Structure 1
Amino acid sequence: MLFHSELGQLAVVALAALLCGLVFARFKQPAIVGYILAGVILGPSALGLVENRDWVAMLAELGVLLLLFVIAMKMSLRSFRSIWKVALMAAAMQIAVATVITLALSRLFAWPLELAVLLGFVVSLSSTAVAIKMLEEIGELRSETGRLVVGILIGQDLAVVPMLLLLNGLAAEEGLDWTTIPGLLAAIGLLAALIWYLSRREKIRLPFSALAKRHREIVPLAALGCCLALAAISDFIGLTAAFGASIAGLAIGSTQSRRQMIRATEPIQGVLAMVFFLSIGLLIDLAYIWENFATVVVLLLLVLLVKSALNLFILRILGEPWPRAFLAGILLSQVGEFSFVLAGAGVAVSAVGIEGHRLIVAIIALSLVVSPLWLMTARRMRQLTAGGIWRLDDLLFAIYEQEARLILRGAKRGARDSSAVFQQFRNHIAELSHRMSEIRARRQVQSAAINDDENMTPLKGEVLPPERREFKRRA
């Protein structure tokens, strides 16, 4: 049959991802959620059209590596050098605080030590792929917030190896294997030295750059070769492949061929990243989620809320301004893809059973699914509460005003004869839109008044307030 062949399954995957991505883009939602939904539809929970998931997992891993490679190439090392201390400290504090919280909960629920440590590690990690994609969606990837988030994600990636070692050591009779610690410290030193060295010198010229200009087909192959080679070396010496891909990106990003490499690699990376998000959907077990709906939803909300608050608290302690800390905290609120690896390791060392593993996988996958929606909701809620809307029903309608209008428009096309409820809903939307317009107009008037006041010449003997004195000094 067509769908049982490798080519047929690949065609189904591509078409399903395309259709779901277009639908979500039409509703002004991130396409990555559509890709995950395509995976759910094609997976065993629904149609079951993708039987062999090994090739999907392999392509998904390549997608994550190339995503890290491209992001590292785009990164400004001079600006990254200014935030790497804060980023690494934030990553360490996230892991430490999350583990302390789960250890405290273990005393309450009588969890074994291995399970408490595992849950702390799983929850503390964030998704590199999802966070970076959301940064791209909102145009913040190259901002201070973007650099901070990427730095924290790199710090978390570095922590995966010691996490696995600690989990294995807790379950092993011989205890921890301390021989790998020097390698980890050497990797951190290599990263710091590379950033310091490359940020202090001019662009490096690659030996094959002249040849690549004449033969453009060599450029993507060279980029893939560099990325995969360093990823394989990093994995071989006991670190993560993601760390090696990041190092490769930082190195290539400091060469004269940087722009050429980025242009050649981005289309490939985009396709493979789509496969990664689709693979998340394949992991979602709808039957299990339905059977344990209340537990899954409560735990999911707890994870999102606690992680967001924890990230915000840590970044504020480290001196980050409120807007940057808020956005970075929300962007890092989901559970990361490396948590799947930790959950599998937990099963291997008997820290968690099969049912517990299914619950952890469900929470991880759903947190990745709802992360873009969580970001959109949190940002809109912050803007609206600042604008004076506090009633819950008005707040919810205002948050999803655009989506409600699209649904309303589609419903009007399908059913011209609106019911009383439909009419009431439309009137409520119109009234709320009018209120939002008034708020925006009031803000513009206030802003204009402030600007006029700042431009006024002070009277003789007038004592200026601090903000106007600062304005005059700048002028």
Structure 2
Amino acid sequence: MNEFLVIQDIVIILLVSLPIIFIFRKLNLPSLVGFLLAGMIIGPYGFKLIKSVDEIEVMAEIGVILLMFTIGLEVSFTQINRIKKFLITAGGLQFLITSAVTFLIFVFAGIPFNQSIFLGFLLALSSTVIIMKLLSDRNEIESPHGKISVSISLFQDLMIVPLFLILPILSTDKNIDTINALIKIGVAFGATAVLLFAAKYFMPPIVHQIARLRMREAFTVGIILLILGTAYITHLSGLSFAIGAFIAGLILADSDYNHQILAEILTLRDAFNSIFFVSVGLLLNIQFVIHNPLLISVITVSAFILKAFIIILIVLALKYPLRIAILCGIGLGQIGEFSFVLAQAGTKFNLIGNDLYNSFLASSIFTMILTPIIFQLEPWITRQTAKLKSRIDDEEVKYAEKLSAHVIIAGYGLNGRNLARVLRETGIKYIVIELNPDTVRQEKQNGEYIMFGDISREDILKIAGAERANVIVYAISDPLITRMSLKVVKSLNPSIYALVRTRYINEVDELIKLGADEVIPEEFETALQIFRKVLEKYHIPLNVIMQQVTLLRQESYRLLRKEAMDITAFTHLDEILAQGLTETFFVNEDCSFINKTLAEINLRAQTDATIIAIVRDGNMISNPSGKDILMAGDTIILYGTHKSVDRAIELLNGGKFE
């Protein structure tokens, strides 16, 4: 009967999950918010559709393990190193200040000391899932506020591990000996370090051996075994299952199989995560929410404003503009999913009472709902902050005043940096506008012509001499700022040539309408490179390939963007393929036909291709006879159709034909 109830509950959860995913996608809200609300409705405090709460929590634990594993897999030591400055400064300051301020508020409210510390930790954590979705939907992950937000969120994810470890010390259970707890934590840290070291050297070779089996089932089972096995080892060491899973993900993140591992685990993680978030919602007393709407509203709004305000101050202290600071604050103002994981663990140590837990859980859910709604105000926030005046160094103003017929480069990433180097070498005058204050300070010391500022601001563009410039190049990853800047710069200088880099093809038409003279979408530049390489493989003449590429670019990629491509717009490639061509082949020392005569090779009879010349030691042997011998270092010139030349090259490389 018990097994029947468990299966019944899982069916109900999955049945509810499907429409939630669909509805919340349409509303542009994270589905995890829907799962939390669904748990409230179908749980023991709602319509009581779920009976086996304890069994569901066991499955939810697997969801936490898989979630922590994928977080570790996506974090990687490489990514940590890439954003380590934001990670340590912005992330560290946010966590410490938010925890400390929240702790003081709860202490003054009369909540016990250790519980206040615990609640401070809970409120310091934000939702990685929500911020990543908001940024990815707007193509802003690589924007300044995107990088800062991801760094802060990543630091919070990393803090989950030590937070789990210190829970026993914060416990209100009088039977827990603090000294023994400290010893256990020391042992746990030691065990974690040993596990991390062992996993780093043993786990990648194990995965490699599993991959060599070339059996998908074995690969999937092997990865799940490593995840659960590592989690089980950490559990035996006195730590949580989640820490072991995180370590496994962190180690495998830098392996050659990380993408395949993520692909195999992702769907499994999403399925179990839906159960986890529903299980969290099951614990929320919906009657408590109905009877205490004012309390929940005050906690929700206060928590959101407090977190957002602290983050805004931190980002401003890092010398970033107000717009960037506000967007970071709004994006990370909610309480995150790992707070639920930590809160559940805290209940086992009596760190959070029932009423306080219900208040925290309800408020967290509503902060998650609030975040995407407020984030929709991004364009309005950008317009309002654009009205503020900027502080520019006198040296920058003096330099910019001397410029005319110059190039303005927006952004000093890889593309902006390379363009600046080329312009410097060719003697073309330019100025770079960059939002990262550290980059501006460092490059100024290196003698770069760079100024700090927001490219969408009219005063910044005027100082950079936009009215006198010939070209402006947008090498930034912020679609909204690019569009706003285009409007402003074209109003200041209608004749300026605006070159825009964008990531996605669907932004091309709008950018052209706003005044962009040329739009280069990375998405289809990649497609063109693939297109070119494939045609080169089939020996299409280079001038024909370049003709096709030029045609596509001249049409602003319109041909590639059509659902039904107009093939007549291209040169008839099938006719080209049927024509004859010449190709060269270098005979290296490994060739099996060395020291054989052309008659012995009999290439024409086997492939229909003809050797029309041999180049040896700088001299050409035209119309070679069957008696001529092939030697190492020769370059032979082949003639035939595309197919026959391909067959000849394959044969010369050691292939065989029937």
Shared fold per TM-score greater than 0.5 = yes
Q: Which amino acid aligns with 1:379?
A: F
CA deviation string 1:2-26 (max 9, x = no partner):
9973333222221111112212223
Match of 1:218 in 2: 218
Query: Which structure has more strand as a fraction of its residues?
Result: 2
Match of 1:206 in 2: 208
Match of 1:168 in 2: 171
After TM superposition, give the deviation of residue 166 of structure 1 in Å: 2.9
Match of 2:35 in 1: 35
CA RMSD of aligned residues (A): 4.1
Structure with the bigger RCO (C-alpha within 8 Å, sep 6+) is: 1
Select between 309-318 and 272-281 the one with higher mean Cα deviation. Answer: 309-318
After TM superposition, give the deviation of residue 317 of structure 1 in Å: 4.2
- Determine helix, strand or coil for the equivalent of 1:25: helix
Match of 2:8 in 1: 8
Check if 1:290 corresponds to 2:296. Answer: no
Distance 2:253 2:43 in 1: 38
C-alpha contact (below 8 Å) 1:307/1:329 kept by paired residues: yes
Distance 2:60 2:176 in 1: 35
CA deviation string 1:122-172 (max 9, x = no partner):
322334555566666666678745751453133321231343133127956
CA deviation string 1:34-68 (max 9, x = no partner):
32332223112332111112232222222232123
CA gap 1:106/1:377 in 2 versus in 1, 3 angstroms: closer
2:488 corresponds, among 425, 436, 446, to 446
- Determine helix, strand or coil for the equivalent of 1:207: helix
CA deviation string 1:231-256 (max 9, x = no partner):
22223323333232222112223223
CA gap 1:160/1:270 in 2 versus in 1, 3 angstroms: same
After TM superposition, give the deviation of residue 210 of structure 1 in Å: 1.4
CA gap 1:358/1:29 in 2 versus in 1, 3 angstroms: closer
CA gap 1:382/1:277 in 2 versus in 1, 3 angstroms: same
User: Looking at CA atoms only, which structure, 1 or 2, has the larger radius of gyration?
Assistant: 2
C-alpha contact (below 8 Å) 2:30/2:130 kept by paired residues: no
Distance 1:451 1:204 in 2: 61
Check if 1:375 corresponds to 2:371. Answer: yes
Select between 320-329 and 64-73 the one with higher mean Cα deviation. Answer: 320-329
Check if 1:182 corresponds to 2:152. Answer: no
Check if 1:151 corresponds to 2:154. Answer: yes
Select between 160-169 and 334-343 the one with higher mean Cα deviation. Answer: 334-343
After TM superposition, give the deviation of residue 303 of structure 1 in Å: 0.9
Q: Which amino acid aligns with 2:186?
A: P
Q: Which amino acid aligns with 1:448?
A: K
CA deviation string 1:174-222 (max 9, x = no partner):
5453214534654786799799x89xxx9997122110x2x21122212
Q: Which amino acid aligns with 2:151?
A: L
- Listed as ranges, the gaps of 5+ residues in structure 1 are 391-438, 457-475
Match of 1:386 in 2: 382
> How much identity, in percent, do the aligned residues show?
24
CA gap 1:82/1:12 in 2 versus in 1, 3 angstroms: same
Query: Which structure has more helix as a fraction of its residues?
Result: 1
CA gap 1:254/1:343 in 2 versus in 1, 3 angstroms: closer
Match of 1:25 in 2: 25
- Listed as ranges, the gaps of 5+ residues in structure 2 are 387-480, 499-658
- Determine helix, strand or coil for the equivalent of 2:209: coil
- Determine helix, strand or coil for the equivalent of 2:224: helix
Match of 2:87 in 1: 87
Distance 1:116 1:75 in 2: 30
Matched length: 398
Distance 2:90 2:76 in 1: 20
CA gap 1:19/1:157 in 2 versus in 1, 3 angstroms: same
Q: Which amino acid aligns with 2:209?
A: P
C-alpha contact (below 8 Å) 2:102/2:123 kept by paired residues: no
Distance 2:483 2:138 in 1: 25
Distance 2:57 2:45 in 1: 17
TM value normalised by structure 2: 0.52
CA gap 1:183/1:64 in 2 versus in 1, 3 angstroms: same
- Determine helix, strand or coil for the equivalent of 1:119: helix
TM value normalised by structure 1: 0.69
CA deviation string 1:257-281 (max 9, x = no partner):
2232222211111211222222232
Q: Which amino acid aligns with 1:35?
A: F
Distance 1:32 1:218 in 2: 31
Distance 1:51 1:61 in 2: 18
Distance 1:323 1:189 in 2: 41
Q: Which amino acid aligns with 1:262?
A: L
- Determine helix, strand or coil for the equivalent of 2:376: helix
After TM superposition, give the deviation of residue 291 of structure 1 in Å: 0.9
Match of 1:280 in 2: 280
